[in-house]
Amino acid sequence: SVIVQNIAEAERVGKKGKPVKDTASALPELMSKVRSVVGKSATSDLTARDLYNALAYSTRDGLIERFNKTHEHWAAKDSKFVYYLSAEFLMGRTLTNAVYNLGMEGKYAEALRSLGYDMETIQEQERDASLGNGGLGRLAACFLDSMANIDLPGWGYGIRYKYGMFKQALDKGGYQKELPDIWLTDGNPWEVKRSEIKYEVCFGGRTEKKTVNGKEVSVWEPNQRVYAQAYDNPIPGFQTPTVGNLRLWDALPVTEFDLAAFNAGDYDKSMLEKEKAECIVAVLYPNDATPEGKELRLKQQYFFVAASMQDVLTRFKAKHGSKWDLLPTKAVFQMNDTHPTIAVAEAMRLLVDVEGLPWEQAWSISSKMLNYTNHTVMPEALEKWPVKVMAKMLPRHMEIIEIINEGWIQWLQSNLPGTAAEKAAKVAAMSIVHENQWNKDELLVNMAYLAVVGSAHVNGVAAIHSDIVKNEIFNDFYKIFPNKFQNKTNGVTPRRWLAWCNPELATLITKTLGSDAWINNAELLSGLRKFASDKNFQSQWRAVKQQRKAKLAAMIKSQTGDDIDINNMFDIQVKRIHEYKRQYMNVLGIIWRYKQLKKMTPAERKASVPRVCMIGGKAASAYDMAKRIIRLVTAVGAKINNDPDTKDYLRLYFLPDYNVSLAEALIPAAELSQHISTGGTEASGTSNMKFQMNGCLIIGTWDGANIEIAEETGVENVFVFGVRAEEINQLRKERANYKTDPRFNEIMNDIAGGMFGDKEYFKPLVDSISNMKVGNDWFLVANDFAAYLDAQEEVDKVYKDPEEWTRRSIMYTAGSGKFSSDRTIREYAEDIWDIKPERPLA
């Protein structure tokens, strides 16, 4: 075959030492991996998958070499480390990122070309590592990238889920269908199993009071034990020798196989322990911003926290013996939301029960090294575990939490001002263990309160959100410990989210700024401002956007068969489907646009601004309303995309299975993106930053990081609309009297009347926002709809002026420097972690 000849030819050329560029070193290296790892001869037919594996294992060699040097260096320096504890890491693909970060793209690209392949085809062989739901998980991934990039000693710690975020498909009717994400079946070249690193993690059983050395102690006698097995995932920085680490834990049975049971004919029992262990890490809970009150979820949380903390303490002891007071100068933990906050109790258990420290000393150590980030304002999303569940699964931890709470309440009693009654009310409101407000017979452990009390620092993820954290969610705590609370506005890595996903734009930026230094110093992007009105530069900028639109159009064509005109505006909203994010309002706006187009004459239509609207995102499997919203998108799309009157002027596509890789294809092609949450509900948002970096204009509410993005871009360049956070409480009270916009009423009637079919299925959606009774339209869709349509009209107006649109687009990228996660991580390192960069020698 052609390929066989190519290999032979290319190897021959390579051996003669006269290849194009670096091919000499890359091709023999790839062929050697084909033989040793893929297990084929270099002259056999090689598939894209074979070459992916060869390339991945070759890249892995480079990663591991640097990983080892980095970690030897950090160990020799005895650097202080940050440990980012997170139940989710939404990593996406690794190959391209690793190849580019290591600066090996040139030599691999040449080698692949000589074999008749390109990087893009090969990269598509890799499955996303989707070990996260959405923003919180992807933020953790960007943070790891930036930590490595700025040489910050630190690791991520999490769970090696066997099945990650479900794969989303649409069934024939246009409803969401969930399929398992079997990402590990074909092997994972990017991880290194550390067989020697495993720890016992225990569950259940009971505690018993015993006297040890004349002291009464509580001894935990668990009834389940499993091993946590370490897998390391090297994380490369760019233009630095540093390679950091994400350590993920798999669960193994302590006894792999019960041979006695097997011999006695009880085959099920022989495998039972293995199955019970594997169950812990089997699947990521596919819930975003809603807690899952299931026991298994708590088990997962404790499992990875216990393994990670033992791991850190083991390394500390090997170096510093029992000089425990040094621990906070060597290790600091960041808890990513409440999911890992059982760490507060586990730290105390390890220091007091296992290492024998006095309680006060242990508390002083633990509360210096733990920190907590809040990611969501939804009150229902703050995890609360029933005391009963906690006591059954983690009886010793429940006791420890009670001791912490007693100390906390005592402290409050003696430090709070006011009368006894006032104090009692405050104490009740701030107790870590409290009644369930819906069921007075049940006691709950409030994990967020445990985190706030047990942490040195607490932060929100955008300026407005941190204010809400201080003034609303944790206001009582803030009044007592104002210095504990900080803001750390989120960021995203400009490597993955601009340089590597949009090489066309990156090349233009580098050419214009005269260097690629912006990739590691995103503030330099501000240098583009002075070209924003330059006609020649504008036309190059537009050409890049057109290229990426063409690429996306080809993808949509291959999936739907539809031709898409790349002169139409590409309008994209991608994120988890949530009522508060208001994809529903977007669809209502599209319906209005459709109705207007229907009324127009052909000439009027020709004068309109044609749009291709795209909506993507997953609905949590149990989130009924979100699933109905997806169906509304597909139903409206089916109608308007097939209407001969309008299909040249308006399209709506639901893009299934939105994930990191799809985002990398969409974001560079977007011209308008929607970030339209109800004021005060989106903690930050991070895709808004990615779109901004790629020169995509934003229509958005005054919410989350939109506010800071507008400040950096110039508020006049952003399409801002809608009610503000400070107004929503009042407006929610007034909903029953709200006079809805006639256009809104008309659309509600259309949906309810069956204009898009499925009218029974859409009824709850219509009812949820249109019958103005108490509890309805919590997210104020009806209230904001008119302002939204006005803002959309403004969008059309500006789009008709390509020079103004392009000027703004350039201003977005130019203003995106602040939103590099390098900046965010530097702030964490300075203001919270007290850690300095430490670069290994190359």
Residues with catalytic function = 375, 575-576, 581, 686, 690
Q: Which residues pair with 446 in a beta bridge?
A: 384
Q: Which residues pair with 336 in a beta bridge?
A: 373
The 241-280 contact track toward ligand 475, x by CB under 6 A, reads: ----------------------------------------
Measured from the CB of residue 372, what is the shortest distance to ligand 475 in angstroms?
Answer: 13
Measured from the CB of residue 459, what is the shortest distance to ligand 475 in angstroms?
Answer: 10
DSSP state of 431: -
Q: Which of 683, 780, 789, 835 binds ligand 475 (CB under 6 A)?
A: 683
Token pair recorded at residue 427: 């104490």
Does the footprint of ligand 475 cover residue 684 (CB under 6 A)?
yes
Our CB check for ligand 475 shows the closer of 66 and 690 to be 690
- Find the binding residues for ligand 475 in span 327-356 (CB under 6 A): 337
Token pair recorded at residue 658: 């939105």
Q: Which of 59, 686, 692, 740 binds ligand 475 (CB under 6 A)?
A: 686
Of 459, 292, 286, 375, nearest in space to 682 by CA: 375
Q: Which of 240, 334, 490, 573 binds ligand 475 (CB under 6 A)?
A: 490
Spell out a b/e string for 45-57, using b for 16 or more CB atoms within 10 Å of the CB, else e.
ebeeebbbbbbbb
C-alpha torsion sign, points 652, 658, 660, 662: negative
Does the footprint of ligand 475 cover residue 70 (CB under 6 A)?
no
Q: Which stretch binds ligand 475 (CB under 6 A): 110-118, 193-201, 375-383, 716-724?
A: 375-383
**Do 779 and 583 touch, CB atoms closer than 8 A?**
no
Measured from the CB of residue 707, what is the shortest distance to ligand 475 in angstroms?
Answer: 13
Q: Which stretch binds ligand 475 (CB under 6 A): 127-135, 302-310, 355-363, 624-632?
A: 127-135
Cβ count within 10 A of residue 482: 9
Measured from the CB of residue 391, what is the shortest distance to ligand 475 in angstroms?
Answer: 23
- CA dihedral in degrees (633, 635, 638, 641; nearest 10)? -50
| Rounded Cα distance, 131 and 283, in Å | 9
Of 324, 414, 319, nearest in space to 368 by CA: 324
DSSP state of 40: -
Our CB check for ligand 475 shows the closer of 681 and 740 to be 681
Measured from the CB of residue 518, what is the shortest distance to ligand 475 in angstroms?
Answer: 23
Does the footprint of ligand 475 cover residue 821 (CB under 6 A)?
no
Per DSSP bridges, beta strands 439-446 and 384-386 are antiparallel
Measured from the CB of residue 479, what is the shortest distance to ligand 475 in angstroms?
Answer: 25
Does the footprint of ligand 475 cover residue 375 (CB under 6 A)?
yes
Our CB check for ligand 475 shows the closer of 71 and 690 to be 690
SS3 content of the chain, % helix, strand, coil (to 5): 55, 15, 30
Does the footprint of ligand 475 cover residue 456 (CB under 6 A)?
no
Cβ count within 10 A of residue 492: 29
Q: Which stretch binds ligand 475 (CB under 6 A): 134-142, 166-174, 211-219, 528-536?
A: 134-142
Does the footprint of ligand 475 cover residue 704 (CB under 6 A)?
yes
Does the footprint of ligand 475 cover residue 703 (CB under 6 A)?
no
Q: Which of 289, 327, 723, 780 binds ligand 475 (CB under 6 A)?
A: 289
Could you give the 3-state DSSP secondary structure of residue 211? strand
The 181-220 contact track toward ligand 475, x by CB under 6 A, reads: ----------------------------------------
Of 570, 580, 578, nearest in space to 619 by CA: 578
Does the footprint of ligand 475 cover residue 136 (CB under 6 A)?
yes
Does the footprint of ligand 475 cover residue 287 (CB under 6 A)?
yes
Our CB check for ligand 475 shows the closer of 685 and 817 to be 685
Radius of gyration of the chain from its Cα atoms, rounded to whole angstroms: 28
Our CB check for ligand 475 shows the closer of 680 and 817 to be 680
**Do 228 and 199 touch, CB atoms closer than 8 A?**
yes
DSSP state of 324: G
Measured from the CB of residue 690, what is the shortest distance to ligand 475 in angstroms?
Answer: 11
CB-based closest residue to ligand 475: 135
Measured from the CB of residue 702, what is the shortest distance to ligand 475 in angstroms?
Answer: 14
DSSP state of 282: S
Q: Which stretch binds ligand 475 (CB under 6 A): 374-382, 693-701, 778-786, 787-795?
A: 374-382
Does the footprint of ligand 475 cover residue 131 (CB under 6 A)?
no
Does the footprint of ligand 475 cover residue 461 (CB under 6 A)?
yes
| Rounded Cα distance, 440 and 54, in Å | 60
Per DSSP bridges, beta strands 569-574 and 611-616 are parallel
Q: Which stretch binds ligand 475 (CB under 6 A): 133-141, 405-413, 628-636, 771-779?
A: 133-141
Q: Which stretch binds ligand 475 (CB under 6 A): 63-71, 479-487, 680-688, 829-837?
A: 680-688
Our CB check for ligand 475 shows the closer of 86 and 96 to be 86
Measured from the CB of residue 618, what is the shortest distance to ligand 475 in angstroms?
Answer: 12
Does the footprint of ligand 475 cover residue 133 (CB under 6 A)?
yes
Our CB check for ligand 475 shows the closer of 594 and 833 to be 833
| Rounded Cα distance, 75 and 319, in Å | 10
Q: Which residues pair with 90 in a beta bridge?
A: 130
Q: Which of 291, 695, 722, 817 binds ligand 475 (CB under 6 A)?
A: 291
Token pair recorded at residue 770: 């249109």
Q: Which residues pair with 235 in a beta bridge?
A: 244
- What is the layout of strands, in order, in the sheet containing 485-487? 192-203, 224-236, 243-253, 154-159, 81-85, 331-336, 370-373, 457-460, 485-487
Burial of 748 (0-12, 13-18, 19+ CB in 10 A): buried
Query: Tokens 């004068």 correspond to what residue?
Result: 607
Does the footprint of ligand 475 cover residue 288 (CB under 6 A)?
yes
Our CB check for ligand 475 shows the closer of 63 and 663 to be 663
Measured from the CB of residue 688, what is the shortest distance to ligand 475 in angstroms?
Answer: 9
Our CB check for ligand 475 shows the closer of 375 and 605 to be 375
Token pair recorded at residue 543: 């050409």
**Do 741 and 769 touch, CB atoms closer than 8 A?**
no
Which phi and psi (to 5°) does residue 578 adopt? -145, 145
Does the footprint of ligand 475 cover residue 381 (CB under 6 A)?
yes
Size of the site for ligand 475 (CB under 6 A): 21
Residues at the site binding ligand 475, with contacts judged by CB under 6 A? 133-136, 139, 287-289, 291, 337, 375-376, 381, 461, 490, 682-686, 704
